[in-house]
A and B are shown apart, each in its own frame.
Chain A
Amino acid sequence: DVVLTQSPLSLPVTLGQPASISCKSSQSLVDSNGNTYLHWFQQRPGQSPRRLIYKVSNRDSGVPDRFSGSGSGTDFTLKISRVEAEDVGVYYCTQGSHWPPWTFGQGTKVEI
């Protein structure tokens, strides 16, 4: 099974400042067709998860452009260019390149 390791697990942030979350995979997430199915989700307190980024670096519709994703192979990063109060929550990376199982990182709690 693919293991996704996020760091840090807790991220205190300052409003208006940048923030970065790492997601490292136990194996390359490039599938047999050359696609990399690494996605990022945000879960605000009391809400269901919401996808922010799909296939490493593609922002979902309605996601502010302060969110960006990057990486390749086994190392991936989610960046928030300027943290806003509504960004508080838990962020998860997930992979769908090698399934089953689909796997998630442990989650990173972002708090002001």
Chain B
Amino acid sequence: EVQLVESGGRLVQPGESLRLSCEASGFTFSTYWMQWVRQAPGKGLVWVSHINSDGSSTTYADSVRGRFTISRDNAKNTLYLQMNSLRAEDTATYYCVRDNWGIDYWGQGTLVTVSS
């Protein structure tokens, strides 16, 4: 069974940093692209970032480019999202998703709240 378990979300102040993690199981993590998608409270789904299977290629939404960094450790079956210079508008539930020629599986999400 495919499982994606995110962690690391919490309340932070504007300008602070946070690292999200996503532990994957139930599939061969090292062979899949992965993505982060976020959802602000009561709002829709927004793509944040993608990484290819070996970590050599990444892309970012314009709203986070230069502030967020996606990475992965295939030996640990873990996906990361390093979030710097956080803003109030980054407040959202962040989902780790598997990309299998399209998003298929989602984690349960981790809530990041940016507020003073």
Contact = CB atoms under 8 A, between A and B. Distances in A.
Interface in B89-107: 95, 99, 101-107
Interface of B: 35, 44-47, 50, 59-62, 95, 99, 101-109
Contacts of B105: 51
Contact of A100 (B59, B95, B107): B59
Interface string A74-103: 000000000000000010101010011111
Contact of B47 (A48, A51, A104): A104
Contacts of B47: 100-104
12 contacts: A37-B101, A37-B102, A39-B102, A48-B95, A48-B109, A49-B95, A94-B102, A96-B99, A99-B50, A100-B59, A106-B44, A107-B45
A9 B58 CA distance: 32
Contact of A92 (B44, B62, B99): B44
Contacts of B101: 35, 37, 55, 96
A107 B103 contact: no
A40 B99 CA distance: 14
Interface in A9-52: 35, 37, 39, 41, 43, 48-51
A29 to B, nearest CB: 11
Contacts of A104: 44-47
A54 to B, nearest CB: 6
A99 B59 contact: yes
Contacts of A105: 44
Given A100-B59, A101-B61, A102-B35, A54 B104 contact: yes
A106 B43 CA distance: 9
B106 A50 contact: yes
Nearest to A48: B106
Nearest to A49: B106
